[in-house]
Amino acid sequence: MIHLDRDRGMVEAAQHDPAAFDALYRRYLAQVYSLAYYELGDHHAAEDATERTFLSALANLARFEERARPEDGDGASTFKVWLFQIARNAIASQRRTTRRTATAPLEAATTAVHPLDVERDVVAREEAAAAWQAVDRLPADRRRALVLRFVDEMTTAEIAGVLGRSEGAVRVLIHRGLRSVARDLTGRGEGRGHGEATTR
């Protein structure tokens, strides 16, 4: 029997004994929280959305059905898609009560990367801030797709499942998002210099 869902063992254990849900919680906490943080831009709001997500997932775990397909590959996880669908709803609900503030993640994203090299650390902070601002200026659907792709490292199929779109539509969203980010960074005069730096 081929196990299509990489989380199948943990999901079945948690369905049998809810206490075993802790393993799934630890595995996906940072990813869910990251999505909430990028979407809401507020530490406390992201925590609230994360809490709602996992409590709801635990309460409804008995109803979860694995639906991974053979073409999804060995690393596919329908549980992950299901969890992020819950997260998306929790974030949308949280957004209705919390006004999005885009400045908070900038500070968090620019923590010391090179603490022993002040000059490099300043450059890294500026570049990280510029990247975040470029993403933050995108329309919501493109920003969400890029965050799921680059931060949560989801596949196109997984993102399609979370966003409720076709894989082709997600590919176009990501492509257009990247082109917008490229224009934004080039407009700041960073594109050429950074490209030369990164390809060295």
Partner 1 sequence: MTATRDTHDVEALITDRYLESLLATRGDATAGAAAFGWEGGDLDRGVRLASLRLRRDLPRFHPSFRFEERLALRLAEAAAAMHVARAVGSEGVPVPIRRGRVTDLADLVDLSGLADVTGPSDPDAPAALRPSAFRGDDDGGAEGALRRHARPILIGGAVASAAISIAGAAIVAWRRSHHPVSPMARAARAAHALRLVQPRQAGVERPD
Determine if 112 is a binding residue for partner 1 (CB under 8 A). no
Binding of partner 1 by 106 (CB under 8 A): no
Question: Does residue 85 bind partner 1 (CB under 8 A)?
Answer: no
Contacts of 40 (CB under 8 A, 6+ apart): 46, 49, 91, 94, 95, 98, 100
The dihedral formed by the CA atoms of 197, 178, 89 and 80, expressed in degrees to the nearest 10:
-60
- Interface with partner 1 by CB under 8 A: which range of 27-35, 63-71, 84-92, 93-101? 27-35
Identify which of 72, 143, 45 has the alpha carbon closest to the alpha carbon of residue 152: 143
23 binds partner 1 (CB under 8 A): no
- Least distance between partner 1 and beta carbon 168 (Å): 7
Does residue 148 belong to the site contacting partner 1 (CB under 8 A)? no
Q: Does residue number 185 form part of the binding site for partner 1 (CB under 8 A)?
A: yes
Start-end of H helices in the chain = 8-16, 21-40, 43-59, 78-97, 104-109, 118-136, 140-146, 156-163, 167-187, 191-198
Q: Nearer Cβ to partner 1, position 97 or 198? A: 198
For the purposes of burial, counting CB atoms within 10 Å of the CB of 38, is it exposed (0-12), middle (13-18) or buried (19 or more)?
buried
Euclidean distance between CA atoms 68 and 96, whole angstroms: 32
Min separation Cβ 139 and partner 1, Å: 16
- The mark string for 51-80 relative to partner 1 (x by CB under 8 A, - otherwise) is x--xx--xx---------------------
Among 13, 102, 123, 131, binds partner 1 (CB under 8 A): 131
Residue 122 engages partner 1 in binding (rule: CB under 8 A) = no
Secondary structure of residue 102 in the 3-state scheme: coil
- The residues of the shown chain that bind partner 1, judged by CB under 8 A, are 17-19, 21-22, 25-26, 29-31, 33-34, 37-38, 46-47, 50-51, 54-55, 58-59, 105, 108-109, 127-128, 130-132, 134-135, 146-147, 149-153, 155-156, 168, 171-172, 174-176, 178-179, 181-183, 185-186, 191, 194-195, 198-199
